[in-house]
Structure 1
């Protein structure tokens, strides 16, 4: 009797168990498989900003990604990451503005073969050295701005210059040759204020404005601005001279400005 009950139970339950197992297997097969995605281990934005090994350097970026390039003008002002050298410039660059960076030196190769350059503005950097030939092979350079740097001497300058601004440097007479501007026959604006010059260099006839204020100029002569051997000479181009803030006593040199249209501007003792 017991065996018969077991046989009946088995015959009833076995098909149900097999059917259930088959159903589970079918459902398992129908389940979509989950894709395993391996995400790269990117640094967080904060890590990229603070970790120098992760953050890109200025010299590793294309110039026109680091700076703004627009119709022959390149603007590299206060760029981030900090710029310590002059970037490679597009061949058609005519105007470069690389102000307020941390450039320390200008080498001969920085502007090699840049025949189109007309204006270079490097003010507000940390430039303490410029190779002698850095600007001498720029046939169209008219304006050079080196204000607010750490220069103690000037390099050879191109004869095409119309304006030179080297205010607020550490220029010394030993670093500015007496004839540094003699061949610059187009130079109209010369700004050498707030330096350490003790003498006035030779000034070309083409000058309209010369600023030499706040230096250490001790004396001038009748030939500094005029020609002492003639009273008929008039310096027709010279419109503005600044010598204030120097130890020289202008009252002791009454004939030094006789050829000028007007006396030096500024406050004098």
Structure 2
């Protein structure tokens, strides 16, 4: 009976006690920071120092649940990608203050299938940051401050970089061409002056509200043949660009429908 009680305490009560103590310490630190900001001071011996985001265990700072890590609008502010549990498949780190993505941030994370970094302050991504993610299918970098794109994983199905500051010279010519599974590409509200090379696999491509002023008969189609039909392409957006559609009557001849949106 005594051994049974010890076993129950070790497997059930002890982890709960340790977890509760850690949370209490974190809550107390946040309370102390709030009181200090409100002008309530305490003697140095009684005042807790609020921890920084990178000083806290990831699964205390974020919510870890069955292979998913949720780090959204974290307080204290998260300025870098946290260390992730090895089994992480889905990372949601939206609306924080992450500024740079380094090569080591996702090293040895072969299980990752989706990364969502929407709404951060990212200005730079090292070229190898995503190159060692063989199973990554969805990547969102929307609403950041990027002017260039890194090398992208070849198995991507969805890529979203809407609302950045991407420039044509910051997007390599074959950045998307080799992504043979890419079906959804969102590059709206950037500073692109040309349409990048597009893979045959695309179903949807959004390029609205850029600075694209011209296209050719080979941007979407194959200018040397009128028999080619782009069967996968369901939706194209080019509205909000200084593009005169009337000047390019044969540029969309291979599509099953014309680009959507309002045009001059």
Short-chain TM bin: 0.7 to 0.9
Partner of 2:251: 256
Provide closer, same or farther for how the CA distance between residues 56 and 257 of structure 1 changes in structure 2, counting only shifts above 3 A. Answer: same
Number of aligned positions between the proteins: 227
Q: 2:34 aligns with which of 49, 57, 71?
A: 49
Q: 1:232 aligns with which of 227, 233, 251?
A: 227
RMSD of equivalent CA atoms: 1.5
Within 1, Cα distance between the matches of 2:252 and 2:210? 19
Once the 2 structures are TM-superposed, how far is the Cα of residue 44 of structure 1 from its aligned partner? 8.9
| TM-score normalised over the length of structure 2 | 0.84
8 Å CA contact retained: 2:29, 2:51: no
| TM-score normalised over the length of structure 1 | 0.82
Structure 1 spans left out of the alignment, 5+ residues: 1-42
| Bigger CA radius of gyration | 1
Once the 2 structures are TM-superposed, how far is the Cα of residue 51 of structure 1 from its aligned partner? 5.4
Provide closer, same or farther for how the CA distance between residues 45 and 62 of structure 1 changes in structure 2, counting only shifts above 3 A. Answer: closer
Q: How does 1:72-221 map to 2 (within 5 A)?
A: 72-221=67-216
Once the 2 structures are TM-superposed, how far is the Cα of residue 196 of structure 1 from its aligned partner? 0.1
User: Where in structure 1 do 4 or more consecutive aligned residues deviate above 6 Å?
Assistant: none
Provide closer, same or farther for how the CA distance between residues 181 and 44 of structure 1 changes in structure 2, counting only shifts above 3 A. Answer: closer
* Residues 203-248 of structure 1: CA deviation (Å, up to 9, x unaligned): 0000000000000001000000000000000001000000000001
Bigger mean CA offset, 45-54 vs 73-82: 45-54
Within 2, Cα distance between the matches of 1:167 and 1:221? 23
Provide closer, same or farther for how the CA distance between residues 183 and 112 of structure 1 changes in structure 2, counting only shifts above 3 A. Answer: same
